[in-house]
Every structure is written in structure tokens, then in C-alpha cells.
Amino acid sequence: MSKINLETFDLTQLPIAEDDNFEFKSSETSHNELKKKLGCAVSGFANSGGACFVGGVDGNSNADKGLLLKIGRQDLRDWVDQIR
């Protein structure tokens, strides 16, 4: 997989379905389930050389409602960093 530049990445560049480089999770996924799936994905990505976990996109690469920027009172980025 070539390195993805997140500064210039556009959602139109997503593949039409999940593959070895992209894993999608819908915004409909509960926070507890998302936490488990993100933890497993991080482990798998580390063992395979990397990939992208995309939240707010369903398994068919359709953007849905997106993710909230806060989980409770915690910023989403901080929440993800703790899981990672």
C-alpha cells in the first residue's frame, strides 16, 4: 500500500468496499462496539504494515451520518488515541 496523504485525501478515493487497506465502520456502531473493533483493527494493521480505519462510512463505502466530535465530554481524537 502506498502512503495515504490525509491532507489531500478525498472521500471519492475510497474503494467501493472494504479491502486490505481500508476498514469501514458505520456511525450507527455503538461506542463500545466501535472501541472493540478499533482496538482489533489497530492490532491487525500493526501486524500487516498499516491501513486506514474509516468511521462514519458503512461496509459498502457509503458515507453515513459521520461520527460525533466528542464521546461524552472527551474529544474524539483523544478517545481514539487512548484506544490506540
pLDDT score, position 1: 47
pLDDT greater than 60 at residue 2? no
Among the listed residues 30, 29, 26, 1, the one whose alpha carbon sits nearest the alpha carbon of residue 13: 1
Dump pLDDT digits (tens) for 3-39: 667 688 787 888 888 888 888 888 888 888 888 888 8
Alpha-helix residue ranges (DSSP H) falling in the chain = 31-48, 76-83
Among the listed residues 4, 9, 84, the one whose alpha carbon sits nearest the alpha carbon of residue 41: 84
pLDDT greater than 60 at residue 68? yes
3 state SS of 35: helix
The rounded mean pLDDT for the chain is 82
Distance, CA of 11 to CA of 73 (rounded, Å): 28
pLDDT score, position 3: 66
pLDDT score, position 23: 86
| Residue 26 grid cell | 458505520
